[in-house]
Amino acid sequence: MRRLLFAVPLGIAATLLVAPPAFATSPHFITANASLSGTNLVVSFKEAGLGANQLINYTASANATTTVVCVNGGGMNPSASNKTTVQGPVSASGLFNSGKNGNITASLTLNPLPAPANFCPNGQSEQVSEVSFTNVSITDTTNNITASIAGTFDTGCLLPSVRGAC
């Protein structure tokens, strides 16, 4: 009986000394959200369960729609044909370190799509009249985990005093 009392604790101690240390790695997004900053979309996120001091790649993506108008020196859009809408995917990527706590809190910024080259005639300037982002997501490309961010993020009319801009 005495041998059994000593053998069980010794067996447990030996197992603990021989077993490799366990690292909790179960990557998952805690939060993921987006907000407009001017005409840009800032995608903010927090991911945990990454393990200590890991370099993790992220990509924020969305579908963007940008409306651009030509504005003359008098502050007007002189023609309905001097307006265009550009649509397509946008993305931004970044590499972040998980630190000693195994989590990352960061942001990536998506920019609106530009107007086609030489869109406005001489003497007129290109100005963005509205931008919207849909189907927004953040992806941890290192661990292949994606969080979708619901909603449409729309600036509304940015040039209310320019006739025909919006």
Per-residue pLDDT reduced to its tens digit, 32-91: 999 999 999 999 999 999 999 999 999 999 999 999 998 887 777 777 677 889 999 999
Q: Which pLDDT value is given to residue 143?
A: 96
Q: Which pLDDT value is given to residue 80?
A: 65
Q: Where are the domains of the chain?
A: 24-154
Whether pTM exceeds 0.75 = yes
More confident residue, 104 or 163: 104
Q: What is the pLDDT of residues 141-157, one digit of tens each?
A: 999 999 999 999 999 99
Q: Is 82 strand, coil or helix?
A: coil
Q: 159: closest CA among 89, 90, 82? A: 82
Q: 32: closest CA among 143, 103, 106, 111? A: 106
Q: Which pLDDT value is given to residue 23?
A: 46
Average pLDDT (132-138) is: 98
Rounded Cα distance, 10 and 120, in Å: 82
Rounded Cα distance, 4 and 7, in Å: 5
Rounded mean pLDDT of the chain? 86
Confidence of residue 9 (pLDDT cuts 50, 70, 90): low
More confident residue, 26 or 122: 26
Q: Is pLDDT at 138 greater than 60 in this prediction?
A: yes
